[in-house]
C-alpha cells in the first residue's frame, strides 16, 4: 500500500452524508426517548443508505478486498445470514409477540401489533375481561368457539418475552412443545425461551454494533492524534492509556453500574451500561492507529498537504485516516464478538442489562441453576455459539481479505 | 427484634468476591497477630464502673436534649438515683417472693435420642469472627455459638405457649428458680449451683453483672446493645454468688421474659477487655454454658469449622436439657454455591438441607418422585410451626403524591395479585398473610383478611380518585394527564421474578409498577430515607408475646411535626422522618392514642383489645398490602437423621433450633450399605400439622369493632 489514495476515497456527496447523519442521530434519539423500534428502524435506514453509497466511492484496492471477501464463501454467507437476521429482528414484533397481527371483528379490521393497548370491550368481551387489556390468544379461542366469522391471526410465536405462562397450573419450566407453541420451552418463571432469545439477540447485536462504533470512533481519533502530534502529547496519552488499560474492565463495569440508580427507564440504563463499557474499552484500538499514523505521517503526500497549508484535522481525517484505517477494519468483527460476550457475561453475573430485559446471558444463568430443565441452558448455549460463530467467520474472512499477502491462510 | 429488616437476599457475586478477598486476607495474617496484644487487666475499671454507673431515666435525658433542664440540674437530680449495680446480702432478699421453677411443665425432647455421631453441614460463608458481639458477629454462624446453644436464665416453653397468670411459661436453663415481683418491676433469680462454663468455672451472679458492663461498654462497637442494655433495664442487684435480681422500667405482661431470656458472660474470659476488643477477641472462642465448644485445632479458616459436644456437660441430665444437643460433633464445611451444596447433600456428603423450603427445590430439584426419595435414602418432613412470620408486603408511602389518597391505596390492594404469586409462583405452598401481626396467637386479629385481587374493584377505586381513562399503553391517566405509575422498590434480588408477575397483573388493572431492584443495603437505605413510593420489604419478628406498634405506626416515627398545634390536623409542611420503621408514614391521631395506651398498659387483655382495634384502623387505612407467609418449615435429610415423634416444637423456626434431633449410627451403616447394594427402604415423606392454624380462607365479611378511644 505504497500509493496514497487520499483524495479519491472521500468523495461522498455532502448531502447524502448529512442525510445519513441526521437519520442516525434521529434514530438514536428515538431509541432512547420515543420508541425502540422506531430508533432501530431509523438507524437501520441510515446504515442502508450509507452502505448503498459505498460501492460508488471505493477505491480499486478496497474493491479488490471486497471482492476477495465475497470469494471467501464461509465468511460471506455468515455475513449475509447475520445481516438478514439483524434486519428481521428489527421487526420481531411481527413474528414474536403476544399481540395479534390481524383481528377481524364484526367486519372491522384491527392491527394491534404497533397500536395502543385495547381493552376487552373493544372485541365484545364482557365481565372481568371487558376492562382488562385483551389477551389475544384467548380471544382467538373465544372467536373460534363463537364461530361468528370473527378471527384472530397470531404471529408465529404468540408470546411476548416478558409474560409468565403457567405449565400445569404453576410457573415452572415447560419442555419444548409445538402444540403449546413454546418451540424451545419456557424458563423457570414460564417465559417463552424462543421469544426471549430473539429479543435478546436483537438487543445484543445492536448493543454490540453501537459499542463497536463508539469504541472505534474514540480509539481511532485518539490514536490518530497521538501519531500525528507525537512528542509530549503522545507520551502523556500513552501513559494514560497504560494506566487506563490496566483497570479491570468487568469489575469496573460491575462496580459503576451497581451504583447507578435503577429508577431510570430501561433504555436509559442500557445506554448507561453501553457508555461505561465504552469508557473502559476504547484504549484497545489506539496503539494500532498511532503506529499507522506515524507511518503515514512520514510519507510525502502528508508533507505535501502540510506545505499546501491544510489544517491538522483535515490532514488527519482526510488524508491519513483513509490510508491508516484498513488495519483496524480487520478487528471490527472481533470487537463485536467481544462485546456480545461481555454483555452476556455481565448478564450471567447479574450486572448487565436491567431486568426484565431479555438476554442470552440471563437465560444461561437460569439454565445453569436449573439443570433439571436442560432445554433452558441448551437453547441459550446453542444460540450464543451460533451468533459468535457467525461473527468469527466474518472476522476471519475480513482479515483474510484485507491481508496484503493474498495466499496466506489462517489457522 | 424488629430493628433489623430481613435482608436474606441471594448473595451477589460482588459480595462473594469481596468476602473471598477478605477471607484470604484474614486467613493469611490471622494466627500470627495473637501474640502482639499487650497484657491487660480490666478488673479495676469494672469495679469502678460498678461503683459509679447510674442510668439516666429517659424523661430526664429527653428534657436535657430539649433544653428544659441544664446539665447542672440533671447532675443534681441524678444524685437521687440509685446505682445501676447494687450489692446486698441474702438477708435483704424480700421474703414474700413466690418462687417458681417451671419443673411442672412437660418435657419436649425424646428419651430415645442417641448421643454421638457427627453431623455434616454446610456454611455459605466462613464466619468472619468467633466473637458473639461486635462488628460482623451477627452473622449466620452466631446461632451455633450463641442463639441456639448458649443457655439463658430460663427459656419460654416452646410447646406451652399460652399466656399464664405470670406471662409466658418458662422452663429453667441456668436458674434453679426465679420469682417475678410485678409491683417492684423486678425479677429475682437463684442460679443452679451446678451451672458451669465450658472451661470449668462456675456461673455466678458476677457473670450477669459483667454482662451489663460489657453490653453497656463502648469497646464492643455496638450502639444498639449499648442503648438496649441501658434503656431496657433499670438495675441489677447481687445478693450472693448465685442470687441476684434484675429490674426493668415497665411491668408489662411479658416483663419476666425480658429478664429470663438474658445470658451471662464469663467475666474471667473478658478480663482483657479494652479498646482493642474487636481484634483481640476476633478468633477466641468464648467459654459457653451450652453443650458445644470449638477447639482451636478445628478452625480451618475459609474451609471448615467443627463444634464438639462437651463430654460431661453440666446440664446433660437436667429435665429440659437432657436428650438434646445429641450430635457428638458438628462439622460445617464452607460451600459457597447454593446449588453445589444441594448436590453435596444429594450425594450424602451433607446430612440435611433446608433448601427444600423453597418451592423450586421441593417441587423440581428434589421432588417426591426423585430416586433418592423413592428408594428411601432421603426423607422429607414438613413441619407447621406457629411463630410470627417476616412481614412481607407492599409498604405504601403515604407522604408521596397520589399515594396520600386512600382510594388509590385501596385500588392498589385490589390490583396486586398475590393470589396468583402464591398459586403459580410458590405453587400453593405459601399462604396469604393478613396483617403484620400474624402469628402472635391470641394477639392476632381473628377476622381481618387481606383484600383479594379484583380488577373491577381496583378500577372502581382508581376511578373514584379521578383515574378513569386508559392511556395508549393501557395505564390509567387522570384528567390532568398524570399516569397511575409508581416505583416499586425492593432490596431482594431473589424476589425479582415474583415482582415481575405483580407488575404484569397490575397492568391489567391500569396500574404501573416500575420495578427497582436494588442490592439489600441500598434498598433498605432508600426505604429508611422514606424515598420509596412503594416498597416490597419485610421486618423480621421474634416470637414475643405481643406485636409492636409504636415503631411502625406512631406519628412521631412518620414526620418531624406530624400535626398542627391542635394535635390532629395534618401539618401541611411536615417532612417524613428518616431512619425509622414507620415505612408507610402513617400519622393518625386516634391510632397514636391507642398506641400510647397500648405501651402503658400492663394488662394483657386490655392490650389485646387495643391491638385488634389498631389492626382495624390499619386495615381501613390501606397502606400495607400483606404478601405471603410460609406457615411451616421443611427439611430433607438422610434417613439416619432422627427426630422426636412430634418432629419438633411449636415455636421452632427451623429443625435445628432446639437441637432435638440425633444420628442413629446403625441406620447410617445400614443405609450406606443398602446404597452400595441397591437395596431400598420405604418412602418417608412426613407432614406434621399438629400446630397448623385453622385457616379458613372463606371470605367472611369482617365486622369492625368500634375502636375504643
Tell me if ipTM is over 0.90.
Answer: no
- pLDDT at residue B500 in the model: 87
- pLDDT tier at A411, thresholds 50, 70, 90: low
Chain A closest-CA separation from residue B534 CA (Å): 13
Mean pLDDT of chain A: 83
Instruction: State yes or no: pLDDT of B698 exceeds 70.
Output: no
Other Cβ atoms closer than 10 A to B198? 19
- pLDDT at residue B580 in the model: 84
Of B201, B199, B181, the closest CA to residue B189 belongs to B181
Alpha-carbon distance of B368 to B551, in angstroms, equals 43
Instruction: State yes or no: pLDDT of B144 exceeds 90.
Output: yes
Contacts of A263 in chain B (CB under 8 A): 487, 514, 516
Among the partner-chain residues A132, A162, A170, the one whose CB lies closest to the CB of B508 is A132
Instruction: State yes or no: pLDDT of B706 exceeds 70.
Output: no
Inspect the interface and report whether the beta carbons of B456 and A356 lie closer than 8 Å.
Answer: no
- pLDDT at residue A62 in the model: 75
- pLDDT at residue B492 in the model: 85
Inspect the interface and report whether the beta carbons of A116 and B508 lie closer than 8 Å.
Answer: no
Inspect the interface and report whether the beta carbons of B501 and A171 lie closer than 8 Å.
Answer: yes
Instruction: State yes or no: pLDDT of B399 exceeds 90.
Output: yes
B485 touches chain A (CB under 8 A): no
- pLDDT at residue B9 in the model: 36
Instruction: State yes or no: pLDDT of A2 exceeds 60.
Output: no
Residue B480 and residue B506 in contact, taking contact as beta carbons nearer than 8 Å:
no
Instruction: State yes or no: pLDDT of B637 exceeds 60.
Output: yes
SS3 B382: strand
Is B122 or A370 the better-scoring residue by pLDDT? B122
A86 touches chain B (CB under 8 A): no
Instruction: State yes or no: pLDDT of B14 exceeds 60.
Output: no
The three cell numbers of residue B412 are 392498589
SS3 B77: helix
Alpha-carbon distance of B335 to B303, in angstroms, equals 8
Q: Which of B7-16, B122-131, B405-414, B419-428 has the lowest mean pLDDT?
A: B7-16
Among chain A residues, CA nearest to B340: A369
Among the partner-chain residues A119, A163, A188, the one whose CB lies closest to the CB of B504 is A163
Among the partner-chain residues A117, A131, A172, the one whose CB lies closest to the CB of B472 is A117
SS3 B185: coil
Spell out where A147-275 has E strands: 151-153
A126 touches chain B (CB under 8 A): no
Instruction: State yes or no: pLDDT of A278 exceeds 70.
Output: yes
Length of chain A: 411
- pLDDT tier at B7, thresholds 50, 70, 90: very low
- pLDDT tier at B694, thresholds 50, 70, 90: low
Instruction: State yes or no: pLDDT of B566 exceeds 70.
Output: yes
Residue B42 and residue B49 in contact, taking contact as beta carbons nearer than 8 Å:
no
Contacts of A255 in chain B (CB under 8 A): 14
A409 touches chain B (CB under 8 A): no
Contacts of B456 in chain A (CB under 8 A): 128, 131
| Binding-face residues of B in 341-360 toward A, CB within 8 A | 360
Distance of CA A186 to the CA centre of its chain: 25
Ranges A210-214, A285-289, B303-307, most confident: B303-307
Contacts of A163 in chain B (CB under 8 A): 504
- pLDDT tier at B696, thresholds 50, 70, 90: very low
Q: How many CA atoms lie within 13 A of B617 on its CB side?
A: 23
Interface size A-B, in CB pairs within 8 Å, comes to 81
Among chain B residues, CA nearest to A356: B500
Q: pLDDT of B105-143, one tens digit each?
A: 999 999 999 999 999 999 988 998 999 998 888 878 999
Return the residue matching grid coordinates 440509685: B82
Inspect the interface and report whether the beta carbons of A116 and B14 lie closer than 8 Å.
Answer: no
Among the partner-chain residues B14, B363, B472, the one whose CB lies closest to the CB of A254 is B14
- pLDDT at residue B278 in the model: 92
Q: How far is CA B187 from CA B30, B162, B172, B205, in A?
A: 43, 20, 14, 13
Among the partner-chain residues B424, B496, B519, the one whose CB lies closest to the CB of A166 is B424
Is A131 or B46 the better-scoring residue by pLDDT? B46
A122 touches chain B (CB under 8 A): no
Return the residue matching grid coordinates 401541611: B572
Is B118 or A343 the better-scoring residue by pLDDT? B118
Alpha-carbon distance of A241 to A220, in angstroms, equals 13
Residue A260 and residue A272 in contact, taking contact as beta carbons nearer than 8 Å:
yes
Among the partner-chain residues B12, B456, B504, the one whose CB lies closest to the CB of A128 is B456
B363 touches chain A (CB under 8 A): yes
Chain A closest-CA separation from residue B521 CA (Å): 11
Of B274, B273, B276, B256, the closest CA to residue B265 belongs to B273
Return the residue matching grid coordinates 375502636: B707
Mean pLDDT of chain B: 88
Chain B closest-CA separation from residue A122 CA (Å): 13
Other Cβ atoms closer than 10 A to B620? 12
**Which DSSP string do the residues of B531-583 spell out, in sequence order?**
--SEEEE-B-----SS---HHHH-GGGTBSS-B-TTSSSBPTT--BPSSSS-T
Please report, rounded to a whole number, the percentage of residues in chain A having pLDDT higher than 70. Answer: 88
Sign of the Cα torsion A67, A73, A76, A81 reads positive
- pLDDT at residue B32 in the model: 43
- pLDDT at residue B705 in the model: 34
Instruction: State yes or no: pLDDT of B225 exceeds 70.
Output: yes
B505 touches chain A (CB under 8 A): no
Alpha-carbon distance of A305 to B283, in angstroms, equals 74
| Binding-face residues of A in 312-351 toward B, CB within 8 A | 349-351
- pLDDT tier at B240, thresholds 50, 70, 90: very high
The mean pLDDT of B576-589, rounded to a whole number, is 90
Inspect the interface and report whether the beta carbons of B427 and A173 lie closer than 8 Å.
Answer: no
The mean pLDDT of A87-104, rounded to a whole number, is 88
Among chain B residues, CA nearest to A373: B364
Please report, rounded to a whole number, the percentage of residues in chain B having pLDDT higher than 70. Answer: 93
Inspect the interface and report whether the beta carbons of A164 and B501 lie closer than 8 Å.
Answer: yes
Alpha-carbon distance of A374 to A361, in angstroms, equals 15
What's the CA angle centered on B18, arms B16 and B22, to 5 degrees? 115
Quick one: three-class SS letters along B290-303?
Answer: CCEECCHHHEECCC
- pLDDT at residue B119 in the model: 96
Q: pLDDT of B23-33, one tens digit each?
A: 444 444 444 44
Other Cβ atoms closer than 10 A to B176? 17
Instruction: State yes or no: pLDDT of A226 exceeds 80.
Output: yes
- pLDDT at residue B35 in the model: 55
Inspect the interface and report whether the beta carbons of B474 and A369 lie closer than 8 Å.
Answer: no
- pLDDT tier at B503, thresholds 50, 70, 90: very high
- pLDDT at residue A409 in the model: 55
Contacts of B427 in chain A (CB under 8 A): 170, 172
Q: pLDDT of A136-195, one tens digit each?
A: 998 888 888 888 888 889 999 999 888 888 888 888 888 998 888 899 999 888 899 999
The mean pLDDT of B137-166, rounded to a whole number, is 90
Inspect the interface and report whether the beta carbons of A162 and B519 lie closer than 8 Å.
Answer: no
- pLDDT tier at B597, thresholds 50, 70, 90: very high
Inspect the interface and report whether the beta carbons of B487 and A116 lie closer than 8 Å.
Answer: no
The three cell numbers of residue B355 are 433448601
Tell me which H or E stretch contains B467.
Answer: strand B467-470
A121 touches chain B (CB under 8 A): no
At how many degrees (to 10) do helices A249-259 and B13-29 cross?
120
The three cell numbers of residue A99 are 399481540
Report how far apart the first and last C-alpha atoms of chain B are (Å, whole number).
Answer: 29
- pLDDT tier at A14, thresholds 50, 70, 90: low
Q: Phi-psi region for residue B325, left (φ > 0), alpha (ψ -120 to 50) or beta?
A: left
Ranges B447-456, B687-696, B700-709, most confident: B447-456
Amino acid at each position: 500500500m505504497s500509493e496514497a489514495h487520499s483524495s479519491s476515497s472521500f468523495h461522498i456527496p455532502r448531502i447524502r452524508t448529512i442525510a445519513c447523519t441526521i437519520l442516525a442521530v434521529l434514530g438514536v434519539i428515538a431509541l432512547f426517548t420515543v420508541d425502540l423500534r422506531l430508533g432501530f428502524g431509523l438507524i437501520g435506514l441510515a446504515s442502508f443508505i450509507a452502505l448503498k453509497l459505498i460501492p460508488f466511492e471505493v477505491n480499486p484496492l478496497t474493491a479488490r478486498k471486497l471482492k476477495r471477501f465475497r470469494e471467501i464463501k464461509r465468511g460471506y454467507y455468515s455475513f449475509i445470514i447475520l445481516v438478514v437476521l439483524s434486519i428481521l429482528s428489527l421487526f420481531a414484533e411481527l413474528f414474536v409477540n403476544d399481540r395479534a397481527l390481524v383481528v377481524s371483528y364484526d367486519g372491522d379490521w384491527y392491527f394491534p401489533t404497533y397500536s395502543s393497548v385495547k381493552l376487552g370491550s373493544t372485541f365484545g368481551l364482557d365481565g372481568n375481561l371487558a376492562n382488562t387489556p385483551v389477551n389475544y390468544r384467548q380471544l382467538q379461542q373465544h372467536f373460534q368457539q363463537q364461530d361468528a366469522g370473527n378471527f384472530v391471526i397470531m404471529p408465529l410465536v404468540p408470546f411476548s418475552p416478558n409474560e409468565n405462562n403457567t405449565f400445569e397450573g404453576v410457573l415452572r419450566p415447560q419442555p419444548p412443545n409445538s402444540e403449546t407453541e413454546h418451540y424451545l420451552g419456557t424458563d423457570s418463571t414460564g417465559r417463552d425461551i424462543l421469544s426471549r432469545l430473539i429479543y435478546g439477540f436483537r438487543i445484543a447485536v445492536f448493543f454490540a454494533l453501537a459499542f463497536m462504533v463508539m469504541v472505534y470512533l474514540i480509539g481511532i481519533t485518539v490514536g490518530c492524534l497521538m501519531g500525528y502530534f507525537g512528542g509530549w502529547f503522545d507520551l502523556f496519552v500513552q501513559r494514560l492509556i497504560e494506566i487506563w488499560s490496566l483497570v479491570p474492565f468487568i469489575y469496573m463495569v460491575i462496580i459503576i453500574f451497581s451504583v447507578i440508580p435503577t429508577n431510570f427507564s430501561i433504555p436509559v440504563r442500557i445506554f448507561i451500561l453501553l457508555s461505561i463499557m465504552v469508557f473502559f474499552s476504547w484504549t484497545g484500538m489506539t496503539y494500532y492507529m498511532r503506529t499507522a499514523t506515524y507511518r503515514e505521517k512520514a510519507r510525502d503526500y502528508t508533507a505535501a498537504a502540510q506545505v499546501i497549508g491544510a489544517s491538522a484535522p483535515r490532514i488527519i481525517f482526510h488524508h491519513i485516516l483513509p490510508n491508516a484505517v484498513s488495519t483496524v477494519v480487520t478487528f471490527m468483527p472481533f470487537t463485536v464478538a467481544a462485546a456480545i460476550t461481555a454483555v452476556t457475561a455481565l448478564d450471567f453475573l447479574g450486572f448487565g442489562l436491567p431486568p426484565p430485559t431479555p438476554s442470552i446471558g440471563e437465560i444461561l444463568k437460569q439454565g445453569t441453576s436449573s439443570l433439571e430443565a436442560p432445554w433452558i441452558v441448551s437453547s441459550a448455549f446453542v444460540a450464543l455459539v451460533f451468533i459468535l460463530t457467525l461473527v468469527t467467520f466474518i472476522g476471519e474472512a475480513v482479515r483474510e481479505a484485507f491481508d496484503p499477502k493474498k495466499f496466506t491462510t489462517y489457522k | 427484634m424488629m430493628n433489623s429488616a430481613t435482608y436474606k437476599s441471594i448473595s451477589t457475586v460482588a459480595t462473594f468476591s469481596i468476602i473471598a478477598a477478605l477471607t484470604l486476607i484474614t486467613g493469611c495474617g490471622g494466627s500470627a497477630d495473637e501474640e502482639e496484644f499487650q497484657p491487660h487487666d480490666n478488673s479495676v475499671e469494672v469495679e469502678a464502673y460498678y461503683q459509679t454507673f447510674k442510668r439516666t431515666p429517659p424523661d430526664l435525658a429527653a428534657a436535657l436534649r430539649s433544653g428544659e433542664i441544664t446539665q447542672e440540674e440533671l447532675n443534681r437530680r441524678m444524685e437521687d438515683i440509685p446505682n445501676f449495680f447494687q450489692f446486698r446480702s441474702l438477708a435483704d432478699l424480700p421474703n414474700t417472693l413466690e418462687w417458681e421453677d417451671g419443673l411442672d411443665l412437660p418435657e419436649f425432647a425424646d428419651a430415645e435420642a442417641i448421643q454421638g455421631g457427627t453431623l455434616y453441614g454446610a456454611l455459605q460463608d466462613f464466619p468472619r469472627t468467633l466473637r458473639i458481639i461486635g462488628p460482623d458477629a451477627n452473622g449466620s454462624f452466631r446461632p451455633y455459638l450463641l442463639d441456639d446453644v448458649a443457655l439463658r436464665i430460663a427459656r419460654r416453653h416452646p410447646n406451652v405457649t399460652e399466656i399464664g397468670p405470670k406471662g409466658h411459661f418458662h422452663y429453667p436453663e441456668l436458674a434453679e428458680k426465679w420469682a417475678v415481683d410485678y409491683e417492684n418491676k423486678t425479677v429475682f433469680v437463684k442460679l443452679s449451683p451446678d451451672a458451669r462454663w465450658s472451661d470449668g468455672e462456675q456461673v455466678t451472679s458476677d457473670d450477669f453483672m459483667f454482662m451489663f458492663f460489657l453490653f453497656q461498654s463502648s469497646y464492643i462497637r455496638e450502639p444498639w446493645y449499648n442503648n438496649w442494655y441501658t434503656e431496657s433495664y433499670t438495675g441489677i442487684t447481687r445478693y450472693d454468688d448465685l442470687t441476684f435480681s434484675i429490674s426493668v422500667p415497665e411491668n408489662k405482661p411479658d416483663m419476666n421474659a425480658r429478664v429470663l431470656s438474658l445470658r451471662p458472660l464469663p467475666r474471667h474470659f473478658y478480663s482483657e477487655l479494652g479498646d482493642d476488643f474487636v481484634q483481640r477477641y476476633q478468633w477466641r472462642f468464648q467459654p459457653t454454658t451450652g453443650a458445644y465448644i470449638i477447639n482451636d485445632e478445628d478452625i480451618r479458616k475459609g474451609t471448615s469449622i467443627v463444634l464438639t459436644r462437651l463430654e460431661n456437660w453440666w446440664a446433660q441430665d437436667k429435665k429440659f436439657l437432657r436428650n438434646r444437643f445429641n450430635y457428638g460433633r458438628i462439622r460445617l464445611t464452607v460451600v459457597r454455591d447454593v446449588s453445589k451444596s444441594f448436590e453435596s447433600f444429594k450425594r450424602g456428603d451433607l446430612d440435611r438441607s433446608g433448601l427444600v423450603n423453597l418451592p423450586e427445590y421441593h417441587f423440581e430439584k428434589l421432588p417426591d418422585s426423585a430416586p433418592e426419595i423413592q428408594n428411601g435414602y432421603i426423607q422429607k418432613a414438613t413441619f407447621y410451626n406457629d411463630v410470627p412470620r417476616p412481614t412481607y408486603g407492599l409498604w405504601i408511602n403515604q407522604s408521596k403524591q397520589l399515594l396520600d389518597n386512600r382510594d388509590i391505596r385501596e385500588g392498589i390492594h385490589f390490583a396486586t395479585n398475590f393470589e396468583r404469586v402464591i398459586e403459580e409462583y410458590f405453587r400453593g405452598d405459601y399462604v396469604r398473610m393478613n396483617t403484620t401481626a400474624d402469628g402472635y396467637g391470641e394477639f392476632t386479629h381473628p377476622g381481618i383478611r387481606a383484600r383479594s385481587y379484583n380488577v373491577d374493584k381496583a378500577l372502581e377505586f382508581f376511578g373514584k380518585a379521578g383515574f378513569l381513562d386508559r392511556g395508549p399503553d393501557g395505564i390509567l391517566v387522570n384528567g390532568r394527564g398524570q399516569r397511575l405509575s409508581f416505583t416499586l422498590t425492593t432490596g431482594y434480588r431473589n424476589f425479582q421474578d415474583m415482582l415481575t408477575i405483580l407488575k404484569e397483573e397490575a397492568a391489567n388493572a391500569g396500574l404501573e409498577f416500575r420495578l427497582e431492584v436494588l442490592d439489600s443495603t441500598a434498598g433498605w437505605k432508600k426505604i429508611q430515607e422514606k424515598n420509596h413510593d412503594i416498597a416490597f420489604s419485610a421486618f423480621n419478628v421474634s416470637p414475643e408475646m405481643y406485636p409492636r406498634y409504636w415503631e411502625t405506626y406512631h406519628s412521631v416515627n412518620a414526620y418531624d411535626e406530624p400535626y398542627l398545634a391542635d394535635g390532629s390536623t395534618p401539618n401541611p409542611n411536615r417532612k417524613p422522618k428518616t431512619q425509622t420503621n414507620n415505612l408507610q408514614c402513617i400519622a393518625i391521631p386516634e391510632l397514636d392514642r391507642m398506641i400510647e395506651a397500648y405501651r402503658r398498659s400492663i394488662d394483657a387483655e386490655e392490650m389485646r383489645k387495643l391491638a385488634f382495634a389498631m389492626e382495624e384502623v390499619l386495615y381501613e387505612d390501606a397502606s400495607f398490602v400483606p404478601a405471603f407467609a410460609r406457615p411451616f418449615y421443611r427439611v430433607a435429610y438422610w434417613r439416619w437423621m432422627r427426630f422426636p415423634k412430634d418432629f419438633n416444637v411449636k415455636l421452632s423456626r427451623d429443625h435445628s433450633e432446639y437441637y432435638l434431633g440425633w444420628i442413629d449410627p446403625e441406620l447410617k451403616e445400614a443405609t450406606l450399605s443398602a446404597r452400595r447394594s441397591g437395596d431400598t427402604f420405604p418412602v418417608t415423606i412426613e407432614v406434621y400439622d399438629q400446630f397448623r392454624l385453622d385457616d379458613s380462607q372463606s371470605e367472611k365479611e369482617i365486622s369492625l369493632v368500634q375502636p375504643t378511644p
